[in-house]
Structure 1
Amino acid sequence: MFDTRKDGKAIAPNIARLVEPFAVHTDGHATATPEELAEVHRNHGMRSKSLLCVAIMMFRVSDVSQLGPQHRRRDMFKLRLFKICNRNPRDIEIPIHPITEAVLAMNKVTDLTYIATEFGRPFFIKSLGNRISDWFCRAGLGHLTAHSVRKGLAADVAHNR
């Protein structure tokens, strides 16, 4: 049976409302191990954009698409975060880890961001996440995502305390 509008035209029912919702249980994001990150290094090389991205993501996931040479002050990254539609901006300082420093030193950066598209433009966050997943797939690590890197670092720090 179809409902009709006031103008007499039929309205198609939304059959998706008939499907009962179901909960899907997951264990969350995979955790990147040091061995898996070494695999990224072996597959892509020290001077690759993918390894540069992973090295930065280890210490700052959410801002990797914006982070560039202009944010560097000697051994620190200084940047302003704009969360929740540009309300309450916050200035942060992030020490540059020796691993990140070594990878940055090996990569020539000519754009405003460390991780840029083939056209020299910054990635949108969603497209960078897709690109990172693609890099992991090419390294045979299709179960890893951008979040896996930061989760792996947190797990490693917790185990080594």
Structure 2
Amino acid sequence: MMASIKIKHLEQYQDRHGRLRIYYRNKTSGKPRIPLRGPVGSPEFWEDYQNASHGIIETKPAYQRSQSGTIRWLIEQYYQNPAFKELKQGTRAMRRNILENFSKKHGTKRYAQLLPRHLRKIRDEKADTPEAANNMIKAIRQVFKYAVNYDYMDDNPARNIEKLKPKNRTGFHAWTIEEVQKFEDTHPIGTKARLAFALLLYTGQRRGDIVTMGRQHVKNRWMKFTQQKTGKAMEIPVLNELERIINNSKTGDLTYLITAYGKPHTPNGFGTWFRKVCNKAGLPHCSAHGIRKAAAARLAELGCTTLEIMSITGHTTLAEVERYTKSAQQKQLAESVRQRIDGQK
């Protein structure tokens, strides 16, 4: 059935071995065609297709067999191990991207000769982006952990590499009330952008979860689903405002949010699209994850306890949520002081 649907810039053919080859090719751009994962219509296909159409992925060089004993060879062995294969899909994709970038620069080096001081130097080269530097070391640490477990190495050179201090200790920017209003003024009820925003704000979930949500998950105004990142089963109430926005929006059959091709979003594809609608609202510094933070902070300011917030957002550690409750308590205490002082005048 999928073969009968015409998809712009899609090329398909069978090679001499009988394997189906799928490519994105925009003839007017002058760029080489980009291979896509199949089958056509699968989530992997649509993720690659959307990335290719937005210029996020480029053509890959011809495969060359890596030399035994090199960092590149070790990374490839790690890819085949359950330690990598059993990661959540999103985590696996992110880690592969980090390791591929590391391999481009350091893949031909001998892994047995890599020492902690070498990794510190590589880390320090990325000091302008400390979060990226820390994520790189985290990924490399797992590769060498695998190497030690399977007797390729005696010690893990990344084990005790210190983290760089993040420039922004609070992480993603949490949306303010004014920013929420600005987004809603730009994207009224009935638009896809407003529906996506409402799902993020009124459920407090990650983008990887809201792209899977649909009417089949709701019964008696309760939504049941499993978080993609944690595998945690969730059951949260559907708030009145969210229900109103869903009922006044165009949705898909199985998911509330669909692409221009009528298919569910992938998390990465959604992130690319949501970045654009934030920019359109004049909010380039705001993100989908920042809405999750704003949702948690909003619950804290309403007086919800740490455990109550965790029951909605699905945070797995107290420390994550206590940041919001402590901030709300500080604001409430400061307001109490202000009222006392103003009351004396």
Common fold by TM > 0.5: yes
| Aligned match of 1:72 | 218
> Aligned equivalents of 1:55 and 1:82: distance in 2?
19
Pairing 1:28-107 to 2, within 5 Å after superposition: 28-58=171-201, 59=203, 60-61=205-206, 62-81=208-227, 83=229, 90-107=232-249
| Aligned match of 1:127 | 269
SS in 2 for 1:92: strand
Q: CA deviation at 1:103?
A: 0.7
> Aligned equivalents of 1:99 and 1:133: distance in 2?
23
Unpaired stretches in structure 2, ≥5 consecutive residues = 1-66, 68-104, 107-117, 131-165, 304-345
TM norm structure 1:
0.78
> Aligned equivalents of 2:254 and 2:182: distance in 1?
28
Q: CA deviation at 1:90?
A: 4.5
Aligned alpha-carbon RMSD (Å): 2.4
> Aligned equivalents of 1:48 and 1:155: distance in 2?
26
Q: Is the 8 A contact 1:136 1:145 kept in 2?
A: yes
Unpaired stretches in structure 1, ≥5 consecutive residues = 6-13
> Aligned equivalents of 1:82 and 1:45: distance in 2?
29
Question: How many aligned positions are there?
Answer: 145
| Aligned match of 1:9 | none
Q: CA deviation at 1:96?
A: 0.4
1:6-60 deviation per Cα after TM superposition (whole angstroms, max 9, x unaligned): xxxxxxxx58x77643245224111112221121111111111111111111212
Say whether 1:116 aligns with 2:262: no
The one of 284, 295, 320 aligned to 1:142: 284
Q: Which amino acid aligns with 1:40?
A: F
**Inter-CA distance 129–160: structure 2 relative to 1 (3 Å threshold):** same
| Aligned match of 1:8 | none
For CA contacts below 8 A with separation 6 or more, give which structure has more relative contact order.
1
| Aligned match of 2:115 | none
Q: Which structure has the larger Rg?
A: 2
Q: CA deviation at 1:155?
A: 1.4
SS in 2 for 1:63: helix
Using the TM superposition, name which of 33-42 and 146-155 deviates more.
33-42
| Aligned match of 1:10 | none
TM norm structure 2:
0.39
Higher helix share: 2
Q: Is the 8 A contact 2:251 2:258 kept in 1?
A: no
